[in-house]
């Protein structure tokens, strides 16, 4: 299950992708537009910033911007930062392998094989979906924004 945190993070990132090139965006604006509790979003964006996905500027005229072009930021990066490894069991994680505490022999574990397949299938999707892909796929909120000055 995707946590609220990761869900909010993805929504916020897509929001930023859609404002790309138009300067810093306020937390408050994102929170209102995407209906995310502002204080919670605070901590989420900070975490994404500390992992290098966002840049920020303080003070008047400040806000957040994507640290890289939106077409090079993958959904999988956001999810891993906010929710941890994708892998359903730690022993099949590539980014954060750990042996499962309860099985003494990975080779004879009946569960591992199928979970490895699941992990790979999930990774194949989220690591090939960019913020732009996500934005394009959603139904447009305000077409009026296209006629921006």
Residues near a copy of itself (CB under 8 A) are 1-2, 4, 7, 10-11, 14-15, 35, 75, 88-89, 93-95, 100, 102-105, 107-118, 120-127, 129, 133-135, 137-142, 145, 147-149
Count H helices and E strands in the chain, helices first: 6, 2
Helix 27-34 vs helix 4-18: crossing angle, to nearest 10: 110
The Cα 21–Cα 131 span in angstroms is 14
**Smaller CB distance to DNA: residue 22 or 58?**
58
Q: What are phi and psi of 116, to 5 degrees?
A: -65, -45
22 lies in the binding site for DNA (CB under 7 A): no
What residues does 13 pair with on adjacent strands?
A: none
Residue 42 binds which entry of DNA, a copy of itself, none, CB below 5-8 Å type-dependent: DNA
Residue closer to a copy of itself by CB (options 59, 107) is: 107
Q: Which of residues 46-65 bind DNA (CB under 7 A)?
A: 46, 49-50, 56-64
Q: Smallest distance from the beta carbon of 143 to DNA, in angstroms?
A: 26
Residue 13 and residue 2: Cα distance in Å, rounded?
Answer: 16
Residue (54 or 134) nearer to a copy of itself, CB? 134
CA 52 to chain centre: 12
Phi-psi region of 6 (alpha: psi -120 to 50; beta: other; left: phi over 0): alpha
**C-beta of 58: minimal distance to a copy of itself in Å?**
27
Contact 14, 129 (CB under 8 A): no
User: According to the binding rule CB under 7 A, does residue 43 interact with DNA?
Assistant: yes
Q: Would you tell me which residues interact with DNA (CB under 7 A)?
A: 3-5, 8, 24, 26-28, 37-40, 42-43, 45-46, 49-50, 56-64, 83, 102
């Amino acid at each position: 299950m995707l946590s609220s945190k990761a869900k909010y993070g993805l929504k916020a990132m897509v929001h930023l992708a859609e404002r790309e090139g138009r300067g810093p965006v306020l937390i408050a604006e994102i929170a209102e537009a995407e209906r995310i509790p502002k204080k919670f979003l605070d901590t989420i964006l900070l975490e994404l910033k500390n992992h290098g996905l966002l840049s920020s500027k303080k003070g008047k005229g400040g806000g957040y911007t994507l640290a890289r072009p939106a077409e090079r930021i993958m959904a999988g990066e956001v999810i891993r930062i906010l929710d941890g490894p994708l892998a359903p069991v730690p022993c099949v994680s590539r980014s954060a392998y750990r042996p499962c505490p309860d099985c003494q022999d990975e080779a004879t574990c009946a569960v591992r094989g199928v979970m490895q397949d699941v992990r790979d299938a999930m990774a194949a999707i989220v690591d090939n979906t960019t913020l732009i892909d996500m934005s394009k796929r959603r139904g447009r909120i305000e077409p009026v924004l296209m006629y921006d000055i």
